[in-house]
Amino acid sequence: MKKIEVNDCEEVLSSMKLIIENLEEIIDKLDREAIKGMLQKTIDGNQIFVIGAGRSRLVAKAFAMRLMQLGLSVYVVGETTTPAVLPQDIMIAISGSGETRTVADLGKLTKDIGSVLITITSKKDSTLGKISDIAVIIPSKTKNDPNEADYLERNMRGDYKNMPPLGTTFEITAFVFLDSVVSQLMMLTGASEAELKSRYTNIE
């Protein structure tokens, strides 16, 4: 059993710094027009649906919670209480690779229905990226990137430049981005923190 040393704690903090640096780099690369379109469609849409798989699903659910607290009609795809998607609705898909089979298939179905598809992804030329009405591209590595196979080897060699594993950088950046979208939606809709708090669950 490995004994944890103080140096191990420093590596945790170093990883935090790398994640912050990654966020700062990505901010300047985000497409402002795509963000503008997402904000507009989200405000104009009838019902909002969010979808993701794995950790991206957790990001999607966190985003849905905030949209609900804003007073919007929002649903997480796959939940038993989720209603039918209609042409006037919005689907927001979160997939780092843009190729996650279940998410991509439901993205195609969304387009068949005639709803607006907004995708948060790292891959512009992915299946989801290509079929989306709006694609917000978050440039970062994902679990499907070829260089992920040598993650442990780089760790052993002391190369900590890209240490966060699998799709971590995408998921963290997507989470921060979507929380920032919520902040702007609060401004645009005139919602107050008191209103959001009034919609917090009271049966926890």
pTM of the model: 0.83
> What is the tens place of the pLDDT at every residue in 191-202?
777 776 676 765
Residue length of the chain: 204
Is the pLDDT confidence value at 156 over 50? no
> What is the tens place of the pLDDT at every residue in 93-144?
999 999 999 999 999 999 999 999 999 999 999 999 999 999 999 987 555 5
3-state secondary structure of 73: coil
At residue 141, the pLDDT reads 58
Instruction: Kindly indicate the confidence band of residue 155, based on its pLDDT and cuts at 50, 70 and 90.
Output: very low
Instruction: Record the tokens describing residue 132, joined without a space.
Output: 């989306």
Please, what are the domains in the chain?
A: 6-198 (3.40.50.10490)
**Which of 154, 157, 122 is CA-nearest to residue 22?**
122
Instruction: Record the tokens describing residue 18, joined without a space.
Output: 């790398």
